[in-house]
Structure 1
Amino acid sequence: MRILQIIDSLNAGGAEKMAVNYANIIAKKKGFSALSTTRVEGPLKAQINEDVHYFFTQKSGTFDFASLKRLKRFVKQHKIDVIHAHGTSALYAAMFKWIYPKIKVVWHDHHGNRAKHDKKKNLTLQFAARFFTGVVACNEELKEWGLKNLACKNIIYLPNFVSTDYVAPASGTQLMGVPGKRIVQLANLKDPKNHIAMLKAFNDSQAVAGGWTLHLIGRDFEDDYSNRLKDFIKEHQLENSVFIYGARFDTAYILRQADIGVLSSSFEGFPVTLLEYGMANLAVATSDVGYCGNVIKNGERGVTFHPGNHEEMVAKLDELFRNDSLRKAYAQALNKFVSDNYADEAVVNKYLNWLEETVLK
């Protein structure tokens, strides 16, 4: 079985991280693995293992048949059986199937809010799904949506996972603030990550008085969304308490310096960020959207809140700030849960068995 992961870019993001994770572990387990990015490359390219065959198609538009021909040469050269297309690369993979019918195409749905969409919002996806042999959904809700709305009914739910053999670098980005009182939010500065809600809750909580600092790690698009956050920080004199770092690719090193991990998204699918927090032994406060509540389990492995409930957010943050032993207990429980349930080996074994039994049969 020879599998190629396809993703539109290698900028920092959940789908992009999962494409790299799949490519890396499959190379270790199967001896061959490939990854192709279509539109742009990006910093996550540095996290692709050396034994993964990499190819950039240099797609310049939606219907770029020259890039499809370049990809076809790569696929034939490496005798690839399966294309595993992630997120927005669905249509590109479907077009490739049209020019190279013998390939099997699997599509991976990472879009946490898709379950709330009707068919009209996904006409392109519904067309592309006619060319799929299988679909991977990152949570059960997306699986049910796919069964109801897509032509391809061979759909499996596979949770996102974290790599168990990744070693954090010995040095990297140094966080501001006092050790022992750092909060990190790993999320690009864009909708639906809802950073403004976290800023408001942080400002109205006991955080500043208690010496806590908030560190926003993620790509800064320097747009209206970003400007709104920066204006809030300035207006509330939080310049010594809230820090924006932009995109960083030494997140394992960054998380080693933190104590609490937060996520305030309006919607999510299955955020890899929570798994990274768990592996880093952080106490977690997250919005209860998508699969977040299943991972955190309010009161057992962290705390959850409704992203639109300001008072609840403040109360949950203060609960963590006040109680060091509670933070440690939550961190230990989440670390064990993630290690036991979302390590790469078990998830990828299930994935490979599914491919053998239903896609390549």
Structure 2
Amino acid sequence: MKVLQLIDSLNAGGAERMAVEYANELVMHIDESFLCATREEGLLKETIQSEVSYLFLEKRRKVDFTAIRRILRFVSDNGITVIHAHSSSFFLATIVKIFKPKTILIWHDHYGENEMLKARKYKVLKFCSYYFDGVISVNEKLKQWAIQNLKCKKVVFLNNFASKNDTTRATVSLKGPEDFRIVCLANIRVQKDHLNLLAAFKLVQEKHKEVSLHLLGEIHKDAYYTSLVSFIEENNLNHVYFYDSQNGVLDLLKICDLGVLASKSEGLPVALLEYGMANLPAVCTDVGQCKEVLNDFGLLVPNNNATALFEAILNYIEDPEKRNKDALNFSKHICKFYTFEGVLDQLIELYKGNKQ
């Protein structure tokens, strides 16, 4: 079995991280593992294991005939039997399937805006789903959506997982006081609701001035980022630091005291799994699969509620015994249920392409 993971970019997002992790983890379990970034490289390229055969396609447009010829040749030359397409890469994968119908095509749905599924545009996706041999959904809500709206009959829910084998090292140091570090691992965009987190942090600082907030995630110098900077300045917040995307995330998480996600919507956030791997207690909003991931080993709050978020953060700051107990239990929970070994058997069965 030779499997190609297909992803549009290698920027540090959840879907991108999972595409790389699948390629890396499969090395020991199949004949050969491949990874193709179709449009853009990025920070995660450094995390691809040397045993993974890698292709950067340099796709320039929606239908790029040069890119199509290159990937068809790559699939043929390497005898690839399975294409595992992540997120929006399904369109190119479908074109390959049309030209090479014996190739097994699996589509992996990482859609993060679970609270707004009714507004999801999927006309092209629905057409392409005729060609899918299987669909992987990252939570139960997405699984039910796929069953109801797509033409592929084989739909499974597989947990995202956190890698135990991340050997990349951090190249930045955390700034500010070391008294109590809160970290939020999320790209800077509206869905992740950093503005709500900053509003909660403002309340935290009124009680604990030396607590610091560390925002790890890709920065776009857009209106949303500008609104965050303005909020920080207008409210005279201290010890708030932006770091952009980083490798060696586990190194950085391990020197923090609390992991937070304030998202308006999620699928199954990889960041939450990484908090567990780093032995961090976690506070997150009750969206997507977060409740199932935390499983009573962290604090869950309503989304878009700065007061509730503040109270949960304060709980962990002022109760170190609970903080340490929850961190230990959460870490054990993640290591037991959210590892690659937990999805491997079902994944291989899906790759075999047996029809239901």
TM-score, normalisation: structure 1: 0.95
Find the counterpart in structure 1 of residue 200 from structure 2: 201
User: Would you say the 8 A contact 1:207–1:321 is kept in 2?
Assistant: no
The 5 A counterparts of 1:278-317 are: 278-297=276-295, 300-317=296-313
Find the counterpart in structure 2 of residue 188 from structure 1: 187
Structure 1 residue 83: deviation in Å?
0.4
Structure 1 residue 119: deviation in Å?
8.1
Describe the superposition over 1:160-200 as per-residue Cα deviations: whole angstroms up to 9, x where unpaired: 0011222363x532111333400000111112010000000
Structure 1 residue 112: deviation in Å?
2.7
User: Would you say the 8 A contact 1:181–1:258 is kept in 2?
Assistant: yes
Describe the superposition over 1:300-356 as per-residue Cα deviations: whole angstroms up to 9, x where unpaired: 311011112222112111111111111111100110000000111221232112322
- The whole-number CA distance in structure 2 between the counterparts of 1:119 and 1:220 is 26
- The whole-number CA distance in structure 2 between the counterparts of 1:168 and 1:43 is 11
SS in 2 for 1:164: coil
User: Which stretches of structure 1, 4 residues or longer, exceed 4 Å deviation after superposition?
Assistant: none
User: Would you say the 8 A contact 2:183–2:216 is kept in 1?
Assistant: yes
Find the counterpart in structure 1 of residue 330 from structure 2: 334
Find the counterpart in structure 1 of residue 321 from structure 2: 325
- The whole-number CA distance in structure 2 between the counterparts of 1:114 and 1:224 is 24
SS in 1 for 2:303: coil
2:233 is matched by which residue type in structure 1? K
Describe the superposition over 1:206-232 as per-residue Cα deviations: whole angstroms up to 9, x where unpaired: 566242100001111011010000111
User: Would you say the 8 A contact 2:7–2:89 is kept in 1?
Assistant: yes
| Equivalent residue pairs, number | 356
- The whole-number CA distance in structure 2 between the counterparts of 1:89 and 1:318 is 41
SS in 2 for 1:285: strand
> Measured at CA, do residues 11 and 327 of structure 1 come closer, stay the same or move farther in structure 2, by a change above 3 Å?
same
User: Would you say the 8 A contact 1:206–1:318 is kept in 2?
Assistant: no
Find the counterpart in structure 2 of residue 68 from structure 1: 68
Give me the CA root mean square deviation.
Answer: 1.7
> Measured at CA, do residues 333 and 168 of structure 1 come closer, stay the same or move farther in structure 2, by a change above 3 Å?
farther
SS in 2 for 1:141: helix
1:301 is matched by which residue type in structure 2? F
Question: Which one is further off, 311-320 or 184-193?
Answer: 311-320
SS in 1 for 2:54: strand
Structure 1 residue 86: deviation in Å?
0.1
TM-score, normalisation: structure 2: 0.96
Describe the superposition over 1:117-162 as per-residue Cα deviations: whole angstroms up to 9, x where unpaired: 3487211111111111110001111111100000001011100001
Structure 1 residue 296: deviation in Å?
1.1
2:345 matched to 1:354?
A: no
- The whole-number CA distance in structure 2 between the counterparts of 1:20 and 1:148 is 29
Find the counterpart in structure 2 of residue 149 from structure 1: 149
Find the counterpart in structure 2 of residue 271 from structure 1: 269
- The whole-number CA distance in structure 2 between the counterparts of 1:315 and 1:332 is 21
Find the counterpart in structure 2 of residue 211 from structure 1: 210
SS in 1 for 2:297: coil
2:255 is matched by which residue type in structure 1? Q
Structure 1 residue 286: deviation in Å?
0.4
Describe the superposition over 1:65-99 as per-residue Cα deviations: whole angstroms up to 9, x where unpaired: 21011001110111001100000111111122122
User: Would you say the 8 A contact 2:168–2:247 is kept in 1?
Assistant: no
User: Would you say the 8 A contact 1:3–1:81 is kept in 2?
Assistant: yes
The 5 A counterparts of 1:1-361 are: 1-114=1-114, 116-118=116-118, 121-167=121-167, 169=169, 172-206=171-205, 209-238=208-237, 240-297=238-295, 300-356=296-352, 358=354
SS in 1 for 2:27: helix
Identity of aligned residues (%): 37
- The whole-number CA distance in structure 1 between the counterparts of 2:123 and 2:5 is 23
Question: Which one is further off, 303-312 or 187-196?
Answer: 303-312
Structure 1 residue 104: deviation in Å?
1.6
Q: Which runs of 5+ in 2 are unaligned?
A: none
2:318 is matched by which residue type in structure 1? R
